[in-house]
Homo-oligomer: A and B are copies of this chain.
Amino acid sequence: MIFRQLFDTDSSTLTYLLADGQGIAVIIDPVLEHVETYLSLLDSLKLALRWVLDTHIHADHITGARAIKERTGATTAIAGNCEATGYDRQLADGEMLAFGNESIRIIATPGHTSESLCYLWRDRLFTGDTLMIGACGRTDFQNGSSTEMYHSITQKLFVLPEETLVYPCHDYKGRRVSCIGEEKVLNARIAGKTLDEFVRIMDNLNLAPPKRIHEAVPANLLGGGSPEARQN
């Protein structure tokens, strides 16, 4: 079993590489600027890439999905309930994605964006911008909804075993991993909060828009671009 967590300092994005015992691999939430790093890593670890998964249409970085697919032949995938046209496969809640002897369960968790998914592999949950360490993603654009976020986190994620490891798509404080049991108790936005309290917290975040949203969202609907395409 191989598990790597990679970090993009520009966008504080955490990207994940996993592989089964036979070297069949999956990448989750790759960043375009690091595609060469991922390819080198796949090569040095002798991995064959089966899937490139995005948890949602990112607004803060451009996905490396299409660029990796062009170089490896892996299949790209994202939720089906969105306008993205640049992915090979549309995923739905409850679906299982196989890679080698392993599989990933798709958990639809609308809230940060309407198409946000979490991916569950063994006891590791890749939460995108849904459940983050001590926090959660914002809900004020891309069909986000605080009410849906509350239900997604409390009814679909907090019901998982407490030992389930939480691996988010971002952390801005250097943290890397948490678990469901910890978030149920310590998450500043949602632990012990009612729906009304949570919605009020989210309504009052007053965050600036993501800097790259006008560049990132259109590119990500196409599965991201190749580095060459961006230079043109």
Q: Across the interface, name the chain B residue whose C-beta is closest to A191.
A: B174
Contact between A178 and B181 (Cβ–Cβ < 8 Å)?
A: no
Question: A residues 162-198 with Cβ under 8 Å of B?
Answer: 162-163, 165, 173-179, 181-182, 185-186
Residues 30-43 of chain A: 1 if any B CB is under 8 Å from the residue's CB, otherwise 0?
A: 00000000000000
Count of residues in A whose CB is under 8 Å from the partner chain = 20
Whether a CB of chain B sits under 8 angstroms from the CB of A5 is yes
Report how many copies the assembly holds: 2
Whether a CB of chain B sits under 8 angstroms from the CB of A230 is no
Distance in Å: Cβ of A10 to nearest Cβ of chain B: 17
Whether a CB of chain B sits under 8 angstroms from the CB of A1 is yes
Distance in Å: Cβ of A117 to nearest Cβ of chain B: 22
Contact between A163 and B5 (Cβ–Cβ < 8 Å)?
A: yes
- Quick one: given A1-B122, A122-B1, A165-B165, are A176 and B174 in contact (CB under 8 Å)? no
- Quick one: given A176-B182, A182-B177, are A163 and B122 in contact (CB under 8 Å)? no
CB-CB under 8 A from A1, the residues of chain B are 122-123
Q: How far is the CA of A175 from the CA of B166 in the complex (A)?
A: 12
Distance in Å: Cβ of A151 to nearest Cβ of chain B: 24
Interface centre among A4, A122, A177 (most CB of B within 10 A): A177
CB-CB under 8 A from A5, the residues of chain B are 162-163, 179, 181
Contact between A165 and B177 (Cβ–Cβ < 8 Å)?
A: yes
CB-CB under 8 A from A186, the residues of chain B are 173-175
Q: How far is the CA of A160 from the CA of B4 in the complex (A)?
A: 13
Additional A-B contacts beyond A4-B163, A174-B185 (19; CB < 8 A): A1-B122, A1-B123, A3-B163, A5-B162, A5-B163, A5-B181, A162-B176, A165-B165, A165-B177, A174-B182, A175-B178, A175-B182, A176-B178, A176-B181, A176-B182, A177-B177, A177-B178, A177-B179, A177-B182
A interface, CB within 8 angstroms of B = 1, 3-5, 122-123, 162-163, 165, 173-179, 181-182, 185-186
